[in-house]
Amino acid sequence: MKHPDESALALYAGGDLAWWKRFGIGRHVRQCGECGRQVDEFRGVGALLQAELEGLPPNLEWTEAAAAMRANIRLGIAAGQCVADPPQRVRNPWRAPALALAAVVAILAGWIIQTLPPAGRIAPPAPAPAADVLVLDANPAGVGVERDGRGFRLLRPEAAEGVEVSVRGDSVRSRYVDGKTGQVTISHVYAE
Amino acid sequence: MNEAVEPVLEGSAERQNRFISDNLRRIFLLVYRMVGNVADAQDLTQEVFIKALQRQDQLKETEKATHWLSRIATNTAIDFLRRHGRVAFCDLDDMPEQAGRSREESPEAMVLRAERKAFLERGLETLTPRERAALLLRDVEGLPAEEVARHLACSKATVRSHIANARVKFRRYLSRRKP
């Protein structure tokens, strides 16, 4: 006698076979004690699981647990809405043509200016002679004054921190803190 | 159930609350049976509802919302089992204050019940996550194989294979190790 395989018996026990297979295996099981025993054991598996796992866990206070879960779900949804992508801005259909038109106008204006005769152009102001110009200079390296290529500069030390430089009217100012000693040094250079 | 499901898609908070209340216990039980642990089941149940309500626009047919929710729950539990590998058991000492039915139980009965449950959980651990899901949906939830196949997004033949493997493995486990 050829016995059905174990998987077929497992499916037969749960009623999960097509009717023609169920018919064939059912006839065999009724005649074979060993296969009948296996089918009973498979049915016992389902019944055992159903009996033991049915219903809520015995130590769970469902009302409290459900209220906590509901609150957390609402919180999760609200948090999700906070970090959701912002709504897409409505795009103006005239924006692209307007930008293109502006670009064409700018190119045309540039071309016209370039093609004007030199006489029509406004002469740029002549630069002031370098001589007699007093230059006050302030940058993070220090503050100083210069005229005709001569001058002096108050340099900040390497350990200086938090350097501030500013220009006020006819003076420049720098302020820094010595990183080692904490001493604050303020340098002021006035032009007269 | 459809009465509870249909308004969810309209999005008002009151209707979403009703949808949650109508399905919370069923989804919690489904997840709990799969992961075998109350704390994880609570976390995962919350995750399932948040996922579902954040993606409700994906659902075109309101009648399918209940099945869709169960499917999200099954997949969330399977993902959890794959990530964690095994079911986390709760010690008797760590159990919450006894309440409801358990107040009437003697300490001996409680211990025996906990041992029986732990024995079954260890048996479920011998199954793959998909086999476990198929077995629980078919033999505990009582869903037909076609429905289980929809839950697990696979063919009916694959689900039958999962169910058969799970029953064979579990029967062998029971015959090897009596509680």
Start-end ranges of CATH 1.10.10.10 in chain B? 106-179
Mean pLDDT of chain B: 79
**Which amino acid is residue B145, in one-letter code?**
A
C-beta of residue A64 within 8 angstroms of C-beta of residue B24: no
Do B171 and A10 lie within an 8 Å CB cutoff? yes
Report B:40-69 residues touching A (Cβ under 8 A).
Answer: 42, 45-47, 49-50, 53-54
Q: Please give the residue of chain A at the shortest CA–CA distance from B53.
A: A77
A101 in a domain, yes or no? Answer: no
| Domain extent at residue A172 | 134-190
pLDDT on residue B140: 86
Do B54 and A80 lie within an 8 Å CB cutoff? yes
**Which amino acid is residue A41, in one-letter code?**
E
Architecture label for domain B1-88: Orthogonal Bundle (1.10)
User: Quick one: how far is CA A111 from the chain centroid?
Assistant: 44
Give the pTM: 0.58
Instruction: Please determine, for residue A122, whether its predicted confidence score (pLDDT) is greater than 50.
Output: yes
- Of B155, B157, B165, B156, the closest CA to residue B129 belongs to B165
- For residues A70 and B31, what is the distance between their CA atoms, to the nearest angstrom? 16
3-state secondary structure (DSSP) of residue A167: strand
A154 in a domain, yes or no? Answer: yes
What ipTM did this prediction achieve? 0.72
Q: Could you read off the pLDDT of A13-55 as tens digits, one per residue?
A: 999 998 888 999 999 999 999 999 999 999 988 888 888 877 7
Q: What is the mean pLDDT of residues B114-130?
A: 86
C-beta of residue A173 within 8 angstroms of C-beta of residue A143: yes
| Phi-psi domain of A169 (left: phi exceeds 0; alpha: psi -120 through 50; beta: other) | left
B74: number of Cβ within 10 Å: 27
- How close does chain B come to A96, measured CA to CA in Å? 33
Instruction: Please determine, for residue B105, whether its predicted confidence score (pLDDT) is greater than 70.
Output: no
Do A70 and B42 lie within an 8 Å CB cutoff? no
Q: How many contacts, defined by CB atoms under 8 Å, are there between A and B? A: 121
Do B29 and A56 lie within an 8 Å CB cutoff? yes
Looking at the complex, does the CB of residue A161 fall below 8 Å from at least one CB of chain B? no
| Chain A residues touching residue B95 (CB < 8 angstroms) | 59
Cβ burial of A25 (10 Å; 0-12, 13-18, 19+) is: buried
Q: Into how many domains does chain A fold? A: 2
A118 in a domain, yes or no? Answer: no
A31 in a domain, yes or no? Answer: yes
- Of A159, A161, A169, the closest CA to residue A138 belongs to A169
3-state secondary structure (DSSP) of residue A131: coil
Instruction: Please determine, for residue A103, whether its predicted confidence score (pLDDT) is greater than 70.
Output: yes
What are the residues facing A176 on neighbouring strands? A185
3-state secondary structure (DSSP) of residue A19: helix
Mean pLDDT of chain A: 81
Instruction: Please determine, for residue B90, whether its predicted confidence score (pLDDT) is greater than 70.
Output: no
User: Quick one: how far is CA A67 from the chain centroid?
Assistant: 34
Instruction: Please determine, for residue A11, whether its predicted confidence score (pLDDT) is greater than 90.
Output: yes
Start-end ranges of CATH 1.10.1740.10 in chain B? 1-88
| Chain B residues touching residue A41 (CB < 8 angstroms) | 171, 174-175
| Chain A residues touching residue B54 (CB < 8 angstroms) | 77, 80
Architecture label for domain B106-179: Orthogonal Bundle (1.10)
Q: Could you read off the pLDDT of B25-83 as tens digits, one per residue?
A: 989 999 998 888 889 999 999 999 998 888 877 666 666 788 888 889 999 999 998 88
Select from B45, B138, B171 the Cβ nearest to the Cβ of A69.
B45
